[in-house]
Amino acid sequence: MPDLKDKIIVALDVDSLREARYFVDKLYPQVKIFKVGSQLFTACGPAAVKMVQRKGAKVFLDLKFCDIPNTVSKAVESAKDLGVYMLTVHTFGASRQALRAAVEAAKGVNSPIIIGVTLLTSLDKKTLNKLGVNRLITTEVLVLAQIAKEEGLDGIVCSPREIQYIRRRFGKEFIIVSPGIRPKGARRDDQKRFTTANEAISAGADFIVVGRPILEAKDPLKAVEELV
């Protein structure tokens, strides 16, 4: 059984390379995967990815590509050239052709894991209804996961609330990445669908993404230890 620490992805949701480097230096090698998302990548670009890699850690590039197939294909090719371990594309609002293009672009040497984002953990039923989505959240996530599976993606991102249903439907080989992780008693922030790390792992998550509970802790390394 893999070490629980190997399942933790720390989200480097900060504004500068200096801040990002501080957390990588502090947490590696206890944390082996770091998420570079829109906030850090917009501020620092590929330099953020390379900084993490130079330390010896892996990069989860969470830019949620969603565009016409050609643009998605080129974006995935660029991410592949950067040597990222895993990256995200959107399934909610994306065409099947775009998802297929992402999978094709990722093939070959240094192929990254392609993960489809289903419904953001900040969304709830009321918000989805306003967007014209009237299915239950679990049903919608299962539909999006089915599309991801059919188009050849390696797995999905979903909230901890949907993990058990995805695992039951798609088996052990389909990768589940779960954000929305909060320690017991922690504030929710903008998360609507969340659980503790233990609950997410027990439900079948392959990876959990944790940001603010670690970044805002007085002792980030201790916060990681407490999660496991």
Strand partners, 33: 9, 58
| Lowest mean per-residue pLDDT among 5-14, 126-135, 208-217 | 126-135
Kindly report the CATH number assigned to the domain that includes residue 119: 3.20.20.70
Q: How far is CA 10 from CA 57, 63, 83, in A?
A: 11, 15, 18
For 28-41, what is the mean pLDDT?
97
pLDDT digits (tens, 9 = 90+) for 47-98: 999 999 999 999 999 999 999 999 999 999 999 999 999 999 999 888 999 9
For 220-224, what is the mean pLDDT?
93
- The two structure tokens encoding residue 34: 């770091």
For residue 11, what are the domain limits?
A: 4-227
| pLDDT surpasses 80 at 154 | yes
Domain count, the chain: 1
d(CA 17, CA 96): 35
Cβ atoms 63, 75 nearer than 8 A: yes
pLDDT band at residue 191, thresholds of 50, 70 and 90?
very low
User: Locate tokens 């489809």: which residue?
Assistant: 116
Question: The pTM is what?
Answer: 0.92
Query: What is the pLDDT at residue 187?
Result: 52
Active site (catalytic) residues = 64
